[in-house]
Structure 1
Amino acid sequence: MKKTVEVLPDQTALIARSLDLILTKLDTAIKERGQFTIALSGGSTPKPLYEAIAKQKLPWDKIHVFWGDERYVSPDHPDSNELMARTAWLNRVDIPPANIHAVPTLDNNPELSATKYEQHLQAFFQVAPGEFPALDVVLLGMGDDAHTASLFPHTAALQVCDRLITVGNKDGNPRITFTYPFINAARSVIFVVAGANKRPALAQVFAPVADDSTYPSRLIQPQGELWWLLDAAAGAGNRE
């Protein structure tokens, strides 16, 4: 694993650097493999990044978009990660509908939805059950409790190592999430983290020794590249 930590002066610089890195990975992937696969994160931090991507002139037919996690709400719900990404980016560009691989959330059965998304991924990447395909980029945020995707501290999702997708739990509310081994199969994992409230968690995630179950972002150790892009508020004292 190649790990890089960059601290950017402010949120504008953080988004600009994130955009530049993603466009570099996109260019490489399309040249080498003919397509680019990216898993999106939710939350407020990546919204301006998605808005910036929407302004680019890109080969949209070669770009496939997935989600690293999703709240178990309808796609038009204000809390939906899909809705946020569509509003900020996907509805603004000429990407084929078949290239948008949204998480199913309307089964009224989170386990069934997780299985459906896993099967969709297996079919798309043409992998057998138990195999972990490599996305070009998995974009992640981190909460002030050190959760990432919907992998929350001391939850059952952290124990799932033989699936691509599982059911996460946030205060009793189900979410659909990538498992950490699936995230770790990626060619590049990019954390984009902003805010002073993230500093204590980052100190534990970067510490030589700490409890993975208490600080789940520690579990993200990809086979490819690991990028931590931090704004100055998050990064103070966390430069490695």
Structure 2
Amino acid sequence: MNRVVEVVEDKSALIARSLALTVEKIMEATRDRGQCTIALSGGSTPKPLYEAIAAQSLPWDKIHVFWGDERYVPPTDPDSNEGMARGAWLDRVALPPENIHPMPTGASDPAADAETHDAQLRDFFKSSAGEFPEFDIILLGMGDDGHTASLFPHTEALDVRDRLITVGNKDGQPRLTFTVPLINRARCVIFVVAGTSKQPALEQIFAETADERAYPSRQIQPAGELYWLLDRAAGEAIEQRINF
């Protein structure tokens, strides 16, 4: 299995390790392929990571930024993943505006915006129908319920296999999200997970057998590398069960 699991002491160490790995993969991609395509996660955990990335000296003109999911709100909304990433990172560095590829949320129709972004990704990566492009890096978080991106337990989005982007749903609120096969095509997927509240879901995700529809993060098995970076509060329950 291409999975690497690392448990670090606390959240500060988690951010430091996530920063080091992300920078390593960015530099690797720009060296080997001339650019880096990275998809960001939302939520509270990655914000200090983005702030730390903003303080680095990186080849910004070679980095293209996308999002793995987005709440169906304007970028100015406090809940917007795009807005958070811009404030913490993107607006603080010399990243060309054309290198930022947000998910559209302005059509008042999530399904239409999902189609639009699907087409945008295919155009950027020059991929045809039926092909799934390879992102260099996809950063993911995980909810207490085991969801990742906006792939929530027992929702229709989990079953989409013919599109890059679909509509996720949480308590009746639509979101745009990468599909499982798009995530699994990535060269490198990095989960960054913190907190004791994540322990029950992690136990199911790392169990030999469990319901993949109940714990969607189990479905993330990329063709490339898979890193699970956990602070001890999240990872202590499984630390002894996994061969590090």
TM-score bracket for this pair, using the shorter chain length: over 0.9
Unaligned runs of 5+ in 2: none
SS of 2:211's equivalent in the other structure is coil
Q: State how 1:77-226 maps to structure 2 within 5 Å.
A: 77-226=77-226
Q: State how 1:35-46 maps to structure 2 within 5 Å.
A: 35-46=35-46
Residue 129 (structure 1) shift: 1.4
2:47 alignment counterpart? 47
Residue 237 (structure 1) shift: 1.7
Unaligned runs of 5+ in 1: none
Deviations 1:134-175 (Å, cap 9, x if unpaired)? 100000000000000000000000000111000000000000
Using the alignment, how far apart are the partners of 2:145 and 2:49 within structure 1? 23
Using the alignment, how far apart are the partners of 2:129 and 2:21 within structure 1? 31
Deviations 1:77-126 (Å, cap 9, x if unpaired)? 00000000000000100100000000000100000000011100000000
Residue 238 (structure 1) shift: 1.3
Using the alignment, how far apart are the partners of 1:100 and 1:63 within structure 2? 9
Q: Give the partner amino acid of 2:79.
A: D
Residue 51 (structure 1) shift: 0.0
Using the alignment, how far apart are the partners of 1:25 and 1:99 within structure 2? 18
Using the alignment, how far apart are the partners of 1:2 and 1:188 within structure 2? 10
SS of 2:237's equivalent in the other structure is coil
Using the alignment, how far apart are the partners of 2:28 and 2:51 within structure 1? 22
SS of 1:237's equivalent in the other structure is helix
Using the alignment, how far apart are the partners of 1:83 and 1:51 within structure 2? 13
SS of 1:95's equivalent in the other structure is coil
1:16 alignment counterpart? 16
Residue 27 (structure 1) shift: 1.0
Name the count of aligned residue pairs: 240
Q: Give the partner amino acid of 1:196.
A: T
SS of 1:238's equivalent in the other structure is helix
Deviations 1:191-235 (Å, cap 9, x if unpaired)? 000000000000000001000000000000000001000001000
4+ runs of 1 displaced by more than 3 Å?
none
Q: Give the partner amino acid of 1:128.
A: S
Using the alignment, how far apart are the partners of 1:83 and 1:28 within structure 2? 27
SS of 1:87's equivalent in the other structure is helix
Q: Give the partner amino acid of 2:83.
A: L
